[in-house]
Amino acid sequence: MAAPRKYSVELSERAVRMYRTADPKPQIKKPAVDLGVHPEALRGWIRQAEAGADERDDRLTTDERAELMALRKENPQLKRANDVLRTASAFFAAQLDRPGPGNRARRRAPSSGSRVRMFLS
């Protein structure tokens, strides 16, 4: 389970919007102190907003993060399904290989023509 958020989503969006619309760009510490947030929190929000706007290549966008989380959640489920299928496959293969009343190996006697060919060779 994720840790509880220290700052609200509205605060982070407002802080990023305030920083991005400022001209000239202030140091991150000044607006962070004005808003009462930690400067590194504001720096992370700004970086994530820049990644979401395709201004940065070093971070995942918000959509990519959501997709990654969904795939990570789905991965263990798929692994469990593969294990079940592998186990079932091994079970049924063993059932087919086991001799029993329904699985008797039937051998036919060679036809007389094959004996003749064997002696002629």
Q: Cα–Cα distance between 31 and 39 in angstroms, integer?
A: 8
pTM above 0.75, yes or no: no
| Segments of 1-105 assigned E as strands | none
Predicted local distance difference test score (pLDDT) of residue 73: 96
Instruction: Count how many Cα atoms sit within 13 Å of the Cα of residue 74 in the half-sphere of its side chain.
Output: 6
Q: Cα–Cα distance between 78 and 73 in angstroms, integer?
A: 10
Joined tokens for residue 94: 């063993």
Instruction: Indicate if the pLDDT at residue 24 is higher than 60.
Output: yes
Q: Give the gyration radius of the chain's Cα atoms.
A: 34
Q: Are 15 and 22 within 8 A, CB to CB?
A: no
pLDDT tens sequence across 107-120: 555 565 555 555 55
